Amino acid sequence: MLQASFSRFGPSRRARAALAALALAAVAPGCSEDGGVPPMQTYPVKGSVKLGDGKPLGSGVVVFALPEQGLEFSAPVSPDGSFELKSSYGDGAPEGTYKVRIERDPASPDSQLRAGRKAPAPPYPARYADENTSGLTAVVTPSPNDLKPFVLTR
């Protein structure tokens, strides 16, 4: 049976200290007082994605990942292959070295199953869909970042 550490006059000093520690933990990293996203310094990031033949990837999503920190920043790929990272933290991404993956655009008709058929394969190898196998990386510096194109070769 569990015993509470409350006297007949209320919680003990130790219990009050434990409750205060729990309250502080609730607003620790990852949360802000107003329930929004905590502030984070971001820097503009833009670039493009091309297929091996030099043509732009016409749709998709570019994802910059910092798996060890549990952070990801993404941007849709425009029909001309360009992208600009934007998030609830601001335009761009924080300084760091990112692993990059390319995802299919979930809204595009060719990425959805129709009439029980599988969606057609993307126009690039499957390894690019995983940041651990893509071989794509990006370094974000504390300045505007205009990256070299990511080229998805076979």
pLDDT for position 36: 64
Q: How confident is the model at residue 37 (pLDDT cuts 50, 70, 90)?
A: low
Tens digits of per-residue pLDDT, 100-139?
999 998 776 554 455 556 777 889 999 999 999 999 999 9
d(CA 57, CA 82): 8
The model's pTM: 0.71
Tens digits of per-residue pLDDT, 84-104?
998 888 999 999 999 999 999
Extents of the domains making up the chain: 45-152
What is the overall mean pLDDT for the chain?
Answer: 80
pLDDT for position 110: 53
pLDDT for position 19: 38
Give the burial string for 80-114 (b: 16+ CB within 10 Å, else e): ebbbebbbebbebbbeeebbbbbbbbeeeeeeeee
d(CA 84, CA 77): 8
pLDDT for position 120: 77
Check if CATH label 2.60.40.10 holds for domain 45-152. yes
